[in-house]
Structure 1
């Protein structure tokens, strides 16, 4: 009887160990898949493609009313444009919504924040280990370009902040057209990062499609 109980316990332990190994392996494979997929959505662009002359960058801005009238309002989860970062030679798709479903595919546009060109705060977020893994190279004076069906919007980086992950001041409304780009920080942190890397940029040019 004792031998039977021991054998049963060993069998159960073996099954549990195999099950844990299977779950661990599956988790690694799934995470690796999404990591590769996240990196693959970033297109490489030549640095000079996103370089503009001062005359091109500082075009007269359309009025808020005109820009808003031109805006295309995407459905939740829809890809509606790209973010071009000349400094990183990167072109990344933007999806409306900032849940994990959107962040796995590219950059998420936080709901109820402004659209490109609007006089308010447009908030974009992305994972630090995929689409924004090189965001730490950005400096004041660099540019972001948001391409949509309605036009191309150029933003000039004015400020870079590192804040606590619970800091909500970075998503508050702004009195002028602002782009806020957020990712987790530190970039090489293992697990849930405690801080956020925040890039603030002002709209300096707009060109209708």
Structure 2
């Protein structure tokens, strides 16, 4: 009876490790699929951007790939997906439903996991650029400031429609194991479209 216990421990360990490896592979496959969809959506208009194209786009549904986020400093190219539910965030960067889109002159809110799409977000500094490519145009934002808030602080999302502002959020600290107690917020202003 005693000799079976170590085998049971080994079996459980291999099983748990297998689940972890599968989750990593699954998220990687989903983000790659979404990235390819985002590139196709952005390339569809061959650089012919206009308000007419934007007005003719159907409203995105939760889980739809809607655009591309480029972060040159950390060499990141990420799909933007409508929604911030866990399933949406496995595909890429989530667009907070109800927040605005580039060109709407309002607050654009994007969220992502610190251990997948935003793994190197902490390397960004004030003045670095964030680029959003949408089917109707390309938009460049410059980081103006950052902030760290408690995880339950929703005051950063005001959904104002006075000036265009990109807000990017992720969990903090970046190397925290488990549910992080804080959020890291990046604020950026529009510098070109």
> TM-score scaled by structure 2?
0.77
Assess, with a 3 A threshold, how the Cα gap between structure 1 residues 71 and 160 changes in structure 2: closer, same or farther. farther
Consecutive unaligned residues of structure 2, counting only runs of 5 or more, are: 36-49
Q: Is 1:93 aligned to 2:79, yes or no?
A: yes
Partner of 2:176: 189
Q: Is the 8 A contact 2:54 2:136 kept in 1?
A: no
Q: Is 1:117 aligned to 2:103, yes or no?
A: yes
Q: Is the 8 A contact 1:145 1:155 kept in 2?
A: yes
Partner of 2:22: 33
Partner of 1:50: none
Q: Is the 8 A contact 2:66 2:80 kept in 1?
A: yes
Measured after TM superposition, the shift of residue 111 of structure 1 is: 0.6
Report Cα offsets for 1:177-196 as digits up to 9, x if no partner.
Answer: 11110000001111110001
Q: Report SS of the residue matched to 2:126.
A: coil
Measured after TM superposition, the shift of residue 76 of structure 1 is: 1.5
Q: Is 1:144 aligned to 2:130, yes or no?
A: yes
Q: Report SS of the residue matched to 2:167.
A: strand
Q: Is 1:203 aligned to 2:190, yes or no?
A: yes
Partner of 1:165: 151
Measured after TM superposition, the shift of residue 38 of structure 1 is: 4.2
Q: Report SS of the residue matched to 1:203.
A: strand
Q: CA RMSD in A?
A: 2.9
Report Cα offsets for 1:68-115 as digits up to 9, x if no partner.
Answer: 647663222011111000111110111001111111111111111111
Aligned pairs, number: 173
Q: Report SS of the residue matched to 2:118.
A: coil
Consecutive unaligned residues of structure 1, counting only runs of 5 or more, are: 1-6, 44-61
> TM-score scaled by structure 1?
0.71
Assess, with a 3 A threshold, how the Cα gap between structure 1 residues 26 and 148 changes in structure 2: closer, same or farther. farther
Measured after TM superposition, the shift of residue 167 of structure 1 is: 0.8
Q: Is the 8 A contact 2:106 2:163 kept in 1?
A: yes
Partner of 2:140: 154
